[in-house]
Structure 1
């Protein structure tokens, strides 16, 4: 018997194909992540016999569902998964893993993985640098971020400190 969902609202991701492969890859990248359940297609549902119909998984403790729905509904940049990273090592590791094998880097920490799903790989310090009463500092950080693909913590910190008295 399948484990029940625990969240009232979950994100449902429509893949052309490869939902199970994608989910297994994602859970390998993030702690507190796992495959919860895989419902398989049968003749009564359609699709390929034994192929994944719905994959339930968690990423960082958050529940998701993925579906091999076929073509016609590609992912767009309008929705993305945001991962807050603790350090540059984590940013680098996730960035490289998610653009591997056909993913594509973009600007400001955004990328799309090989299945077309959009991600934002964001160092937590960026949010701290953008917050606070010093709006000139936040503006410098945002200007630096807009020039980056993969976000670079040292560059963001340098922008934050630029123009500060020595």
Structure 2
């Protein structure tokens, strides 16, 4: 059980993922804001040069699909891993295909709707229909959809539905 909120605790909290890039933050922001609707680049902090000029990007805020992200160019000390991924809730197969094609361009496909993009960030591209089928009240249909999904890289809704329908009693 969690402790009650402190009377001095803020009424609202904003939690934003912060992505650590070696030096690819600017390219990543440009790429991601082109892939996701309702996306913008916000504040960008650049290195200051001794002569008063500005150098490369140090840190920045950007919004993807209405969600605030922060990024830093922190050097090669840390790498992305599948331990943290971003799930894209797709309304239909067209959305799955859009995000899959865009994010795997220069990246790497994995199983069950997972991929790594060209920057090494892990994503799960999942259609809502997958979760509907996995919660099907008929356990045979749910199991068949799950087994079909486990064989896929990009999730194909029609194939999930066909597997579930084949498991349904005649």
**TM-score over 0.5 for the alignment?**
yes
Find the aligned partners of 1:152 and 1:55 in 2 and give their Cα distance: 35
SS at structure 1 position matched to 2:129: helix
In the other structure, the counterpart of 2:15 is: 9
**CA shift in 2, pair 1:133/1:152, >3 Å:** same
Which of 138, 142, 148 matches 1:138? 142
In the other structure, the counterpart of 2:3 is: none
The runs of at least 4 aligned residues of structure 1 exceeding 4 Å deviation read: none
In the other structure, the counterpart of 2:6 is: none
- Please report the TM-score for the alignment, with normalisation by the length of structure 2: 0.85
Q: Tell me how far 1:120 sits from its aligned partner.
A: 0.6
Find the aligned partners of 2:126 and 2:47 in 1 and give their Cα distance: 36
Q: Tell me how far 1:122 sits from its aligned partner.
A: 0.6
Residue ranges of structure 2 left out of the alignment (5+ in a row): 1-11
Residue ranges of structure 1 left out of the alignment (5+ in a row): 1-5
In the other structure, the counterpart of 1:120 is: 124
Find the aligned partners of 1:7 and 1:40 in 2 and give their Cα distance: 27
Q: Tell me how far 1:16 sits from its aligned partner.
A: 0.9
In the other structure, the counterpart of 1:86 is: 91
Matched, 1:30 2:36: yes
Find the aligned partners of 1:131 and 1:9 in 2 and give their Cα distance: 30
Find the aligned partners of 2:156 and 2:89 in 1 and give their Cα distance: 13
In the other structure, the counterpart of 1:3 is: none
Which of 111, 114, 117 matches 2:115? 111
Q: Conserved in 2, the CA contact under 8 Å of 1:7 and 1:63? A: no
Matched, 1:57 2:87: no
Please say which structure displays the higher CA radius of gyration: 2
Matched, 1:70 2:70: no
- Please report the TM-score for the alignment, with normalisation by the length of structure 1: 0.87
Matched, 1:152 2:156: yes
Q: Tell me how far 1:25 sits from its aligned partner.
A: 0.9
**CA shift in 2, pair 1:62/1:157, >3 Å:** same
Q: Tell me how far 1:152 sits from its aligned partner.
A: 0.6
